Amino acid sequence: MSTRIYHNPHCSKCRETLALLNDAHVEAEIVEYLNTPPSREELVEILAMLDMRPRQLMRRHEEEYKANHLDDETLSDDALIDAMLRMPKLIERPIVVSNGKAVIGRPPVNVKSIL
């Protein structure tokens, strides 16, 4: 079983989710996604596992979202994915991928559903 967490060490929910994984004795690959964003293929795969459209995975309150007019409903999914790849801060966090499934750790206890 391979588990990966897309993590921001400055985010309390990320830290809580990582602690939950550690408490469950789950060895997870930690991806600090602000420094090492997922590839397009990984992001598309994560979206599919989450059964989400790109806008649903975006942090819409971030200044980058507003400044880049990403609230424009005419933008394609590809354009929104491109924006998340350019500005990974826009990607909701934490995301845990395990056993071919993914979940957003908000709240962190959500992660238990895929372990």
Give the burial class of 84: count Cβ atoms within 10 A of its Cβ; 0-12 exposed, 13-18 middle, 19 or more buried. buried
- Residue 46: how many other CB atoms lie within 10 Å: 19
CA dihedral of 5, 106, 113, 55, whole degrees rounded to 10 = -80
Write out the catalytic residue numbers.
11
